Chain A
Amino acid sequence: MKAFFASVRKEFLHIFRDKRTILIVMIMPVVQIVLFGFAVSTEVNRARVAVCGEISDLQVRRITDRIDKNRYLEITEILSTPEEIEGLFRRNEADAAVCFERNFSSGLTGSGGASVRIIGDGSDPNTARMITSYISGVIQDAGQDASISLSGEKAASMTPSVQLMYNPAMKSSYNFVPGVMGLILMLICSMMTAVSIVKEKETGTLELLLVSPVRPLWVILSKLMPYLLLSAGNFASILLLSHYVMEVPINGSLALLSLVALIFVVTSLAMGILVSVISSSQRTAMLICGMGLTMPTMIFSGIIFPCESMPLVLQWFSDIIPAKWFIIMAKKIMIQGAGFASIIKELTILTGMAVFLLAVSIRSFKTRL
């Protein structure tokens, strides 16, 4: 037991003396969260809208005001002719334009109705679709109000009201925070463990550890401890950041979330040991972790691409990625506030993976060179 604690202490000394690594490990989650949160955001924020029409027209002015008041949209330009729109897009001075026809108000009261055209930039189709749908929503609302004020009664019409139960504001952070959490926990646990064991292989110190009367199992366990603690620190920092900066709720039980994270961390540590068994140099270990663990996790865990829209074979493949199950559970607990009963299937799968990988990795760790 004494030998075990001495090894754990030694492992911590290694980590704390390697300032660069510890810096990367502690800062990486912060950078990733901030990057995903602000830079890689798919949300539309303060889209620039140009208006083309007679601003002296009462209805035109009303709709323009409404657009400007919307928190996602902003009027930046009033144009007199539609020909100017293209120039605006080319100079990247507007994201969308709204064109009102001549005599808009009288057209609205007349029998033919009035027409309004929404033009989006469209070079980024996703953003354009979102902006134009925001604008058309605003115009629809305005049109209804206008018809009520004109006829005095509400015309019979049907408007579907769409509500997203757990993410009403459609914040992308609700999706990527659990994703980034899974990615980082896996990266730290598997890559750092693999590298730290392989490093001892490279320097020859593993030879000395093996010749000592300490059981290999304890050698491995002592190497895992620091990374377990580091990932706990990362888990906390990601949660704090996402809760207070990204405003992602933690609706479910924090204890349950921590338990799920712990099981996931154990799975990742076991994968790290497996990588260290098959690689003979630190570079190989890094490559295997990067190409063999991180990339499949990014692609198949549903962080970027939804698993449901993948071909069936790839969906099966995604089932063996532990991060997928962790992310599903993290989302359920954090966003939906789900309890133990509703994650029992995923939890069983992940625990099974953890037990299996841990058993295989400890068995495959050689007591000889």
Chain B
Amino acid sequence: MNAIEINGISKSYGQVRAVSDVSLKVEDGEIFGLIGPDGAGKTTLFRIMTTLMLADAGNGKICGLDIVKDYFRIRKIIGYMPGKFSLYQDLSVKENLEFFATLFGTTVRENYGTIKEIYSQIEPFADRKAGKLSGGMKQKLALCCALVHKPSVLFLDEPTTGVDAVSRKDFWSMLQRIRESGVTVFVSTPYMDEAAMCDRLSMIRDGKIIGTGTPEKIVSDYPYGLLSVKGSKMYPLLKALREIDGVISCFSFGDSHHLAYDTSKTDLETILARAREAGFADCTAETATPGIEDCFMQLSGN
């Protein structure tokens, strides 16, 4: 059975279409990523799936339960961690955790095994107020609170936004272990580099799903050749590269430009020669393996 299954979900706020005709299937026990920039409609989709909001159109099931009709039963079996830190800042770590445990009709002790690994990291600060925790610890506490009732599906809305690189890495390895315990994880992120950590992912832009699959499949489906081009005058170079025949797209990527080209029309040497003709004598290029970000750019361009 699919843990999550939604069909043709649409939602508008007045004139703004936040989510349009989104369909997804998430299998039991996988980490499913929803990748997209800010404002792509990720949070809206989360709220619809967690029964907090009604969609204008479409239907969906969480663990076989209808997201509209059976909303109350769904609320018992899901864990939700909103994008904004949403715990009680004036309650201590322990009080927050105990409150949420009781809310779901369980106790911290009963489910200590589920959260032990994460909670043990913040347990030394059990009496500290949640508002006085560091960003990484707040995130761990929020995760504990979402996990304390052993949910079947865990919804994490941008859990790594505003968290440092080391903690982000930690967090993803925690998610791997949560998945191993049998929980389906549905996670959204604006960071393309985190996509590789998911079992499967969907890319969302302007409320529409532009691609779904395993990270490997998405990358292998990339239809063009890809070059990483460097030069001394980067911005004029970017404009010049875009003018070359056979170049599909070119955008800056870290300290170089990623250039997609049609392999049937041109190749590395031709492009490099054209760039040098255009006055960029020091320009160098090498073949690059496409990443999720390249695929995202390509798919959202279509």
A residues contacting B by CB (< 8 A) are: 2-3, 6-7, 10, 13-14, 17-18, 203-205, 207-214, 367-369
Contacts and interface: CB of A to CB of B under 8 A. Distances in A.
A204 B87 CA distance: 8
Interface residues of B, number: 30
A205 B88 CA distance: 7
B86 A207 contact: yes
B88 A3 contact: no
A208 B142 CA distance: 11
Given A2-B102, A7-B103, A13-B91, A213 B76 contact: yes
Contacts of B102: 2-3, 6
Most chain-B Cβ atoms within 10 A of its Cβ — which of A203, A209, A212, A368? A212
Given A13-B91, A18-B90, A6 B103 contact: yes
B99 A369 contact: no
Given A3-B105, A6-B102, A369-B53, A208 B89 contact: no
Contacts of A205: 86-88
B105 A211 contact: no
Contacts of A207: 52, 80, 82, 86
A208 B102 CA distance: 13
Interface of B: 47, 50-54, 71-72, 75-76, 78, 80, 82, 84-91, 95, 98-100, 102-105, 145
A204 B53 contact: no
B90 A208 contact: no
Interface of A is mostly: helix
Contacts of A368: 51-54
Given A6-B99, A211-B80, A369-B47, A204 B105 contact: no
A10 B82 contact: no
Contacts of A214: 103
Contacts of A204: 82, 84-86
Given A10-B99, A13-B90, A208-B80, A213 B104 contact: yes
Contacts of A18: 90
B52 to A, nearest CB: 5
Contacts of B76: 213
Given A10-B88, A204-B84, A209 B103 contact: yes
Most buried by A among B75, B91, B103: B103
A47 to B, nearest CB: 53
Nearest to B78: A211
Nearest to B96: A10
18 contacts: A2-B102, A3-B102, A6-B99, A7-B99, A10-B99, A14-B88, A203-B84, A204-B85, A205-B86, A205-B87, A208-B86, A209-B103, A210-B52, A211-B50, A211-B80, A212-B100, A213-B72, A213-B75
Contacts of B54: 368
Contacts of B99: 6-7, 10
A203 B138 CA distance: 14
Nearest to A203: B86
Given A7-B99, A18-B90, 18 more contacts: A3-B102, A3-B103, A7-B103, A13-B90, A13-B91, A17-B90, A17-B91, A204-B84, A205-B87, A207-B82, A211-B50, A211-B51, A211-B75, A211-B78, A212-B75, A213-B75, A213-B105, A214-B103
